Amino acid sequence: MGRSARRSGVTSDRSPSSRPLFPSISLKGSPTTSSSVSEPPSARTSLINVLSRPRHHAHAHAATSSASGSSSADAGIFTTEDEFSDMSSTISSYASSILSSSREASSEDIAKVYRDYLETPFVKIKTSVKHSEFGHCNNPNWRWTSQWNPDEPIHALEEERPPYHVLIATYLSYLLLIVLGHVRDFFGKRFRQSHYSHLMEHDGYAALNSDFDSFYVRRLKKRLDDCFARPVTGVAGRTIQLLDRTGPDDNSSFELTGGYTRALNVSSYNYLGFASSTGGCADAVDAAIRRYGISGAGPRHDASTLDLHHQTEKLVARFLGVEAAMVVSMGFATNSTNIPALVSKGCLVISDEFNHASIRFGVRLSGASLRTFKHNDMHALEALLREVISQGQPRTHRPWKKILVIVEGLYSMEGSLLNLPMFMELKRRYKFYAYVDEAHSIGAIGPNGRGVCDYFGIDPREIDVLMGTFTKSFGAAGGYIAGSKELIDRLRLRSHAMAYAESMSPPVLTQILASMASIMGVAPPLAAPAGEELDTMSVASRPTAYGPASSSTLPSWFSLPTPLLNGTEGREKLRRLAFNSRYLSSGLRKLGFIVYGHRDSPIIPLLLYQPAKMHYFSQMMLKRFGADKTPIVVVIVAYPATPLITSRVRFCLSASHTKNDIDMLLRACDEVGDALDLKHGKQTMKVEEVIAAAEELVASNF
């Protein structure tokens, strides 16, 4: 089982026909820029202006084209991405393009350069998919297969800890914020009563919001509010377009300036890059809207079950390798309306401490007892299981009717992967029912994109309840529950969503059908592309063969382009995502950042600790201060989503990111990391070394 076996097609000369989406390059030119580059001095000064241009301005500028000598716009010269990364880099290309222009670089020039980078591919391509939504990256070496390697630990029990001074500084920061907040509240309530009216009693009405409950939101989160809920427009693909806004009154309200900023998007849950306004899936959805309209109308049981619902449910079941499945129109509601249908009083739910809010919501509704165990700690789970089974129900000591253990496949704040092999061992021994929430892992993990079962090579039918969402990997909305036929029938009867909630709308169903079918490929399969070496390891190690979708399950009016039909594009996406995830996760670790989670996880949390750094990190990524000015949008997460001290920035990678994007992200993190003193771990490599050694880093165990 050599590591090279997993590196699909590294050495093989693959025929271009196997990857129709990424055709070979028409002209191999020399790299356009020299590699010796210094930072442009003028760039730094006009940092702020860069990001607030109105859109029409931007367009006009783009139309006047390449006068400023931007590298990628030079007609006739196209480089492959391989060469591009070898000889020059994004950073140098920007800098040089700015330097090479005869006049002094203005903020507009810089903005144009990054816009070109984000919107125009470096290669000539034939596909209609926009580079800004799905980046073109055709180097076969930059692929990886997401699969369990028994030599790598699944979950580190003790996360890396920062030095004590960081912890103390963090606590002191919060202390300061809390004290300041209370001082402001104290004086505010006395001197600016109109601002506090909703927090105080008036006319015999109690305050609508308790000032104690809302203290965190008003006094701590509000300071960061310009980093949260930034309004956007367009597709949340590889890049995203922000609506520029200003907050004149300390983030109390925001005003849109009317400008737009296109930024690299490492925040959306677009793991496989199916969020797209063009391409095969969007065309299928287009056809569906014309045919079905947009409304799912009423609840499923009241004549709002379309044939499309049945087809989607069948395909989802086939995709997961289980008997039956059921779709619900909202991901949150999938948990909150189905868990109460499974357990009730006298049952016990054991839940991971970091489980999603929707699970807690559902458990609370069910009336079952709840115990939690330390995050992803299978020994703690075993100890708890032994205790609860032997003790029985509290007070009466009656045995529990049933025990449902609810875990997630991939944790959205931690990036940690469920230790499924050990979990299954415990399941066999302690006879509990397993409920695995694969909201984030489905599509994103596993050699076939089938989630944690696929990743660990475990038969999905051994897990009683499989839950997941379509919001993330499939670019749609809603969620599913899958399992045995008895289970799904029972849930159809008892699920709140089936009887009372709206059914899923046809365009969303179609997006699910199209994206899922393109990951699976549609049978009858086309002949395997010539020159394709067999992926021996993944075939041998998996007990369930995840086959293609049968064309009879799909609607008859459905037509997908060939790369989607034969599954090549889907596979390409899975492998690009796996490479990107592993590359960034490993790279950040080598740079000395404290990074949580599994290296195969597309969710990569980087620890920031001090609350002020969250704001700075988010702003410095958006308004970059180095030579490269390409804005990057990131998600910062703090209490209550994480423990108080471990506030973090969370990157969500996508198959739509190119390696250049990840390179740029690494450079940006390096820049900001030095400025903000974030490298609390041991830095073993410089950023350029990391970028040069990307493939080795991804392939190595550490």
* Residue with Cβ nearer another protein (74 or 250): 250
75 near another protein, rule: CB under 8 A: no
Q: For another protein, which residue of 189, 461, 490, 679 counts as binding (CB under 8 A)?
A: 490
3-state secondary structure of 406: strand
CB of residue 181 vs another protein: minimum separation in angstroms?
A: 16
507 binds another protein (CB under 8 A): yes
Closest CA to 404 of 456, 458, 375, 366: 366
457: which residues sit within 8 A by CB, 6+ positions away? 147, 148, 541, 542, 543
Of 40, 162, 296, 597, the one binding another protein (CB under 8 A) is: 296
- How far apart are the C-alpha atoms of 184 and 108, rounded to whole Å? 41
Q: Does 372 bind another protein (CB under 8 A)?
A: yes
Element (H, E) at 469: strand 465-469
Q: Which of 395, 524, 527, 702 binds another protein (CB under 8 A)?
A: 395
Q: In the complex, what is the shortest distance from the CB of residue 4 to another protein, in angstroms, rounded to a whole number?
A: 34
Nearer to another protein, 434 or 662 (CB): 434
644 binds another protein (CB under 8 A): no
What whole-number distance in Å separates Cα of residue 499 and Cα of residue 491? 11
608 binds another protein (CB under 8 A): no
The answer to whether residue 204 forms part of the interface with another protein (CB under 8 A) is yes
Taking the complex as a whole, the smallest distance from the CB of residue 702 to another protein amounts, in Å, to 30
**H, E, C per residue of 424-448:** HHHHHHHCCEEEEECCCCCCCCCCC
Q: How many CA atoms lie within 13 A of 583 on its CB side?
A: 33
CA distance 618 to 633: 7
Using CB under 8 A, which residues numbered 226 to 285 contact another protein? 228-237, 240, 243, 265, 267-270, 274-278, 281-282, 285
Q: How far apart are the first and last CA of the chain?
A: 17
Contact status: 129 vs another protein (CB under 8 A): no
Q: Could you give the CA distance from residue 584 to residue 621 in angstroms, rounded to a whole number?
A: 16
Q: Which is nearer to another protein, 44 or 431 (CB)?
A: 431
CB of 521 to another protein, least distance (A): 21
User: Is residue 445 a contact partner of residue 474, using CB atoms and an 8 Å limit?
Assistant: no
Nearer to another protein, 79 or 270 (CB): 270
Tell me which of 74, 86, 104, 387 binds another protein, using CB under 8 A: 387
Give the x-and-dash track for 142-181 against another protein (CB under 8 A). ----------------------------------------
Q: Kindly state the smallest distance separating residue 89's Cβ from another protein, in Å.
A: 27
Shortest gap between Cβ of 429 and another protein (angstroms)?
Answer: 7
- C-alpha 443/C-alpha 174 separation (Å) is 38
In the set 30, 102, 194, 390, which binds another protein (CB under 8 A)? 390
CA nearest 698: which of 17, 48, 1, 3? 3
**Site residues for another protein, window 405-444 (CB under 8 A)?**
429-433
**Dihedral sign computed on CA atoms, order 504, 508, 513, 519:** negative
- With respect to another protein, which residue has the nearer C-beta, 342 or 577? 342
Cα(407)–Cα(384) distance, integer angstroms: 14
Tokens at 579, concatenated: 């490479």
111 is a contact residue toward another protein (CB under 8 A)? no
Distance in Å, CB of 294 to another protein, minimum? 5
Residue from 123, 501, 519, 690 in contact with another protein (CB under 8 A):
501
Which CB atom, from 462 or from 464, has the smaller least distance to another protein?
A: 464
Non-local (6+) Cβ contacts of 64 within 8 A are none
> Is residue 106 a contact residue for another protein (CB under 8 A)?
no
State which of residues 94, 423, 474, 596 lies at the interface with another protein (CB under 8 A). Answer: 474
- Decide: is 606 part of the binding site for another protein (CB under 8 A): no
The correct pick among 175, 217, 540, 644 for binding another protein (CB under 8 A) is: 217
Q: Which of residues 338-367 bind another protein (CB under 8 A)?
A: 340-342, 356-358, 361, 364-365
212 is a site residue for another protein (CB under 8 A): no
Task: Report, in Å, the least distance between residue 372 CB and another protein.
Answer: 8
What is the CA angle 391-396-400, rounded to 5? Answer: 55
Q: How far is the CB of 206 from another protein (least distance, A)?
A: 4
Length of the chain in terms of residues written: 702
DSSP 43-110: HHHTHHHHT--BHHHHHHHHHHGGGG--TTTSTT----HHHHHHH--HHHHHHHHHHHSSSPPPHHHH
Nearer to another protein, 44 or 401 (CB): 401
How near is the Cβ of 528 to another protein at its closest, in Å? 31
| Residues 32-51 interacting with another protein (rule: CB under 8 A) | none
Q: The tokens of 541 are what?
A: 């190690």
Selected binder of another protein within 139, 329, 416, 580 (CB under 8 A) = 329
User: Is 5 or 365 the residue whose CB approaches another protein more closely?
Assistant: 365
Q: Backbone dihedral region of 32: left (phi > 0), alpha (psi from -120 to 50 degrees) or beta?
A: alpha
Q: Which of 250, 9, 42 is nearest to 141 (CA)?
A: 9
Stretch that binds another protein, among 13-21, 87-95, 472-480, 541-549 (CB under 8 A): 472-480
Near another protein by CB under 8 A: residue from 56, 57, 310, 398: 310
Q: Which is nearer to another protein, 388 or 694 (CB)?
A: 388
Number of residues that bind another protein (CB under 8 A): 133
Q: Which residues contact 413 (CB under 8 A, 6 or more apart)?
A: 354, 603, 605, 637, 641, 642, 648, 650
Q: Which of residues 451-470 bind another protein (CB under 8 A)?
A: 464-465, 469-470
Q: How far apart are CB 630 and another protein at their closest, in Å?
A: 17
Instruction: Give the DSSP letter of residue 261.
Output: E
Q: How far apart are CA 218 and CA 197, in angstroms?
A: 14
Region from 52-60, 298-306, 531-539, 568-576 binding another protein, contact rule CB under 8 A: 298-306
| Pairing of β 433-437 and β 239-246 | unpaired
Q: Is 290 in the site for another protein (CB under 8 A)?
A: yes
Q: 607 in helix, strand or coil?
A: strand
For another protein, which residue of 109, 116, 133, 408 counts as binding (CB under 8 A)? Answer: 133
Cβ(604)–Cβ(637) under 8 Å?
no
Q: Considering only residues 188, 399, 421, 529, which one is a binding residue for another protein as defined by CB under 8 A?
A: 399
Please report, to the nearest 10 degrees, the dihedral formed by the alpha carbons of residues 295, 296, 299, 305 taken in order: 150
| Chosen residue from 61, 371, 623, 679 binding another protein by CB under 8 A | 371
Instruction: Kindly state the tokens that stand for 301.
Output: 């049981």
Tell whether residue 96 is a contact of another protein (CB under 8 A): no
